[in-house]
A and B are shown apart, each in its own frame.
Chain A
Amino acid sequence: MQEKKIICTVCPIGCTIAVKGEGGKILSIEGHTCKRGEEYSANEFLHPVRILTSTVRLKGSDMPLMPVRSNKPLPRESLFDCMEEIKKTEAKVPVRCMDVIIKDILGTGIDIVATGNAE
């Protein structure tokens, strides 16, 4: 049985929510003050996800880097592995915002897309 104390980030109150779970199932959630917090802490407990933002090397421009983001939140455990992929990747001008730079990174179904523009 696992217990985690999760600080909810949905609203400025920042309730500390205690979540108990086992084998991929939630057993109890305590300390939340709204439904959004309940949902957030459950997700955070079972599969915490994070938007990853970083930069890739940009070729053909005065700017050396192109800022990128994951178009959806990635599993938190995968962030450093995703970083390794990002480090290996280069983008070439022209780049438009939302252009896919890495498709389906590490088989997550999530793309790394550009957030800026470069001619």
Chain B
Amino acid sequence: MLKTDVLIIGAGASGCAIARELSKYQLDVMVADKNEDVGGDASKSNSAIIHTGYDASPGTLESQLVVAANPMYDKLSEDLEIPFERVGAILPAITDEQFEKLPSIKEKAFKNRVYDVEYKTAEQLLKMEPNLNPEVKGGLYIPRESIIDPFLLVVALAENAQENGVSFLLSTKVTGLKIEGDRIAGAETTAGPIEAKYVINAAGLYCDEIAHMAGKDDYYVNPRKGQFYILDKNTSCKVEHIVLPIPTKLTKGKLMCPTIHGNMLVGPTAEDLTDKVDKSTTREGLDSIETDVRKLIPKVNLRDSITQYCGLRPNRNPEGLHVDTYDDVKNYVNLSGIRSTGLTGSVALGKYVAQTLIDIGMKAPFKTNFIEKRKNIPCFHKLSRNDQNLLIKQNPLYGKVICRCETITEGEIVEAIHRPIPARSVDAVKRRLRAGMGRCQGGFCGPRVIDILARELNIPVTEVNKNNKGSYMIAGKVR
């Protein structure tokens, strides 16, 4: 019978950030996720932006969390070796109507305590972004808007939490919550029952289903689909900053920005769904991206797209980011309404939830031996030729390039498969290393990665999955 002090349901950005934060205390912490890898759902299909919170709803918890979180990333990205860059964002006003909105946007930023937002003239903006629509009238510059590797952010938080004692139960779905009297006692899962003193619902897209298990039905999740384009690193029309449209009530709008690895990202749409499983891109959705982004960057070349994908924002109805505790279900913390700022806010949310637990009575001293830093898998292609050579001398597998497009070696892939939170699927390898994220999209490395996974995990090749159970790559042997 599994027992723990704190059970966190969901290993997305929120869950892993909370886990890392709680691992600073002398506590037993367990994270359960129905997926076969950490990364959640929305946390692995988003625009990879670390927001400042300039456009949040002032005074809300969401605003507080994002604004608090943004400055934390400089140290976090260094400590946990996560690719991160403060590229800055521009908000160009193309029409007079949009231009008139700028003062209110700046005012809102101020109300959110994002003070470093500046006006820029059209001339200044065009100098910053030569590919900007020449009809720009002026705009805002938000210097601390940044980009990050979202996959490595979550993996790094998880790995560091794990190193500090947190257990991760993957492919483990919570099927029920155990409530004894007026307090939570644990959960029923596909891996058996887990006894827990505290339970945190960080299940994102499925947080309403977990809440229902706690007898709480005061909200539901309506997924809001976002479709994205990723463009080739060699695309003819690039931007250096995050180029944001004037936001609407529904969504931040369709943007274009660089990714931390040198691609361009264009999107997302915002389409309300009822289906939590529909992650399909659509012709209409993709086309709408082109229409909108052309208003900002007229020469954007979507023909250079190397992939399109879809993320589902776990939108809450009624709206609003909530961290709820209850008197009739004590020691249960319910997170809901974590939307576009979820990735950013995660590190602040982690601290907020830790404090919430203390507020409801959790007593646990700090650890004196918390391991603050985490080392990434050596990134071969970023090293100098000398360092590459040394690495190969230590481990010859680093001399065998498997992913031609991104120059990823077998050494890195094998390392990823054997990390404490192992990459056990093609997508898990891809997220950690980018093997398969290049222009050939796994055409070259895919077959080789399948064999490496089978070999390293000692499983038949038919059991190598793309991601979750059922996503087999190979139907059988030929001979």
Contact = CB atoms under 8 A, between A and B. Distances in A.
Interface of A: 55-57, 64-65, 87
A56 B478 CA distance: 9
Contacts of B479: 55-57, 64-65, 87
A59 B479 CA distance: 11
Contacts of B478: 55, 65
Nearest to A58: B479
B143 to A, nearest CB: 55
Secondary structure of the B contact surface, majority rule: loop
A53 B478 CA distance: 14
A63 B478 CA distance: 13
Interface residues of B, number: 2
Interface of B: 478-479
Contacts of A87: 479
A39 B321 CA distance: 79
A64 B479 CA distance: 9
Contacts of A56: 479
8 contacts: A55-B478, A55-B479, A56-B479, A57-B479, A64-B479, A65-B478, A65-B479, A87-B479
User: 8 shortest A-B CB distances, which residue pairs?
Assistant: A57-B479, A65-B479, A87-B479, A55-B479, A55-B478, A56-B479, A65-B478, A64-B479
A64 B478 CA distance: 10
A93 to B, nearest CB: 15
A86 to B, nearest CB: 9
B447 to A, nearest CB: 13
Contacts of A55: 478-479
B296 to A, nearest CB: 50
A56 B479 CA distance: 7
A52 B7 CA distance: 60
A91 B479 CA distance: 12
A48 to B, nearest CB: 26
Nearest to B479: A57
Contacts of A57: 479
A57 B479 CA distance: 6
Contacts of A65: 478-479
A57 B477 CA distance: 11
A27 B479 CA distance: 44
Given A64-B479, A87-B479, 6 more contacts: A55-B478, A55-B479, A56-B479, A57-B479, A65-B478, A65-B479
A68 to B, nearest CB: 11
B414 to A, nearest CB: 18
B11 to A, nearest CB: 37
A65 to B, nearest CB: 6
A87 B479 CA distance: 7
